[in-house]
Each structure stands twice: as C-alpha cells, then as structure tokens.
A and B are shown apart, each in its own frame.
Chain A
Amino acid sequence: MIKRLLALLLLAAIGSVFAVLLLGYTPDAELNLTARYYAERTAADIGAANIVTAIVVTYRGLDTLGEVTVLFLSATIVGLVLAQGSGPGRSPSVRTPVGELLGTGARVLAPLILLLGVYVFVNGHLTPGGGFQGGAIVASGMLLLLLADPLRQFSHGLISTIESVAGIAYVAIGVLGLVLAGGFLDNRILPLGTLGELASAGAIPLIYSLIGLKVGAEFSSMLASLSETEEL
C-alpha cells in the first residue's frame, strides 16, 4: 500500500507540473521562425507538396537516416535476442486450423494491403503519408498472413536482402546529393518538376520508397522473429 501511495504522490507532483504548463499555454497566432522558413521555402526549394515530408526527408534528412538506423538496430536486436536458445530442437506444434473467414480474407486482402502500402509510400511527398507509414501498412499485410497461417515461414534471406539493398541505395542517393547538388541527401539531383505531380520533388519519391521498403522489411522481420519463437 505504501508503494501505491508513493506512486500517487509522485503522479500528483508530475500532474501539477503538467497543470501549470497547460494553464500557462497560449497558442501561437503566427508561425514561429523555423516553421515560417519551411512554409515559405519548401515549394521553391524542395518542390514537395507535403511540407512535413520535405522536413523529414530533405531538411532533416540526416536525422531520418539516424532514425532508420535505430529501427534497423532494434529489429536486429529483437532477432538476436529471440534467436538465442531456440535451437534445432524445436518442432512445429500442431495447431487447429484457422477459420474459413480469416484464411480466405487474408488471401483476398493481403495483396490489396501491400498495394495500399506501396501507394502510401510512393505518394509520400503529395499526401499525408510516407515511407514509415507505408512500411507499417506493408508489415500489417505480413501480420495478416501470419495470423492466417501461424506456421508460415517468411524467407529471412529475402527480407534482409530487400532491407540492405534499400539501405545502401538510400545512403548512395545521399552521397550523390553531396556530389551533384548542395549537400548530403539533397533532393535536387533529379529535376524538381511541377508541384503536386507524382514525378516531382526531385529524389524525395525515390528516397521515401526506399525508406518504405526498408521499414516494411524491418517490421516484417520483427514480426517473423516474434512469431517463430518457441512456444513456452
């Protein structure tokens, strides 16, 4: 009980800090300096209709490379941690077959979900979406396949090939930006095109598609590692 009381006291302290923050908050009426720069310059400099994408992929592209690296590391560590111990002795346990609805539904829906994921990451510079969201949708298609057939084995070789090729191509495009345009991950190595068209915003559709493939492969490998661990 004393522990619960201490927890409540701590929460009351944090809550009062939050209350002060909340009561003292006044929303901005104008964009601040950074946001104003992005709002004014994105259309001319980057050519992307979605300003958030312009920030994530080009203005702060280096941070996104770091983010993808963190995601790669966590996928690798999940694979490493879960692979230990599950030696060759594991035998596929016999399970009851999944329902007709799930089995048929997965066969119908999985290709459509993959298509939606690809649509979302290819149109990342035009619509609310992008590589991370598209990659998550692709992985949710994989999750549906795993739910419909829990014993399904995804090819780890294929997943890691897609992932490493996408990662290397991402860094290579970044270095090309250094050579051909203004700096690392500069999107102006390709023509900017007309604002709002699919083939616009220079290298952003290319970079975001690679990020989408990489993120989808990483999430899928996490799902595969989690599903292949031995039943306890």
Chain B
Amino acid sequence: MALVAMATGFVLILIGFYGALTNRNLLRMIVAFTIADTGVNIVIVAIGYMHGRTAPILDATISAREAVARIIDPVPQALVLTAIVIGLGVTALMLAYAYKLFEKKRTLDIARFAELKW
C-alpha cells in the first residue's frame, strides 16, 4: 500500500517535471510545478506509513500507553503540513509574477522572455 502511494508520488513528480520542461506557457508551468509539489508531499507521507497502524491521534481506542505500538510516524505528517503551506505561498507568488510578466509583454509564452537568455 505504501509502495503504491510512493510510486504514485514519484510518477506525479515526473509528470510535473515533464510539464514544466516542455510547456512554454507560464500558467501551464505553474500548474506543472504544483503537480510535482503534490507528488513530493505524497512520497513523504507514504514514507511515514506503517502497515497495520493508525493515525497519530490519541482517543478512547488508542491510549497514551499503547501509542508507540499502534500509531504511524507523525513526523512526516508534520513536515508535509509545513510543505503544503509553503507550496501555496510559492504558487501565489508565481501567479503574481506571471501576471506582472503578462502585463509587461502581453504574452505568457516563455520563449518571448529572452532578457536572461544566454
């Protein structure tokens, strides 16, 4: 199960990279980056998964004493929580810059922005 999730994550990362490398439209590149971002998050969560265990939340069925034997690794989940939020901030920034670039050149084609090309 963890392997399926991890493989899905890796495939999503590759799809995202492919989209970012081959598309010339800035908006499509931003979408591709968010897909790769999601793939990374899925891989990290899948690393924390352990077979036959449950979510790291203590309640009536999981007492504090048996938590060590019953819960999955909470650290990757905390990491992904951070990564999702930062990913959203990065996406918002990319969209704002794409808007400014469009305002300047009236196009979203990356090939038309040749100032930093060598």
Contact = CB atoms under 8 A, between A and B. Distances in A.
The 5 closest A-B pairs by CB, nearest first: A43-B64, A74-B89, A7-B21, A51-B56, A18-B10
B67 interface: yes
Interface string A122-146: 0000111010100010000000000
Interface string A13-31: 0110011011001011101
A52 B103 CA distance: 43
A60 B77 CA distance: 13
Interface string B43-71: 00001011100011111100010011001
A55 B50 contact: no
A39 interface: yes
Interface string B63-100: 01001100101110110011011101110110111011
15 contacts: A22-B7, A31-B73, A44-B64, A49-B57, A55-B74, A60-B78, A63-B82, A64-B82, A75-B92, A78-B92, A78-B95, A127-B57, A130-B81, A195-B58, A226-B96
A70 B51 CA distance: 35
A196 B102 contact: no
Contacts of B59: 49, 196
Interface of B: 2-3, 6-7, 10, 13-14, 17-18, 21-22, 47, 49-51, 55-60, 64, 67-68, 71, 73-75, 77-78, 81-82, 84-86, 88-90, 92-93, 95-97, 99-100, 102-103, 106
A48 to B, nearest CB: 8
B74 A52 contact: yes
B58 A67 contact: no
Q: Which interface class (under 10, 10 to 19, 20 to 34, 35 or more) fits A? A: 35 or more
A70 B49 CA distance: 28
Contacts of B86: 67, 70-71
Contact of B64 (A22, A56, A195): A195
Central interface residue in B7, B50, B81, B84, by most chain A CB within 10 Å: B81
Given A3-B22, A27-B49, A63-B82, 7 more contacts: A14-B14, A25-B47, A29-B50, A43-B58, A49-B58, A55-B78, A226-B95
A87 interface: no
A32 B73 CA distance: 8
A51 B75 CA distance: 9
A222 interface: yes
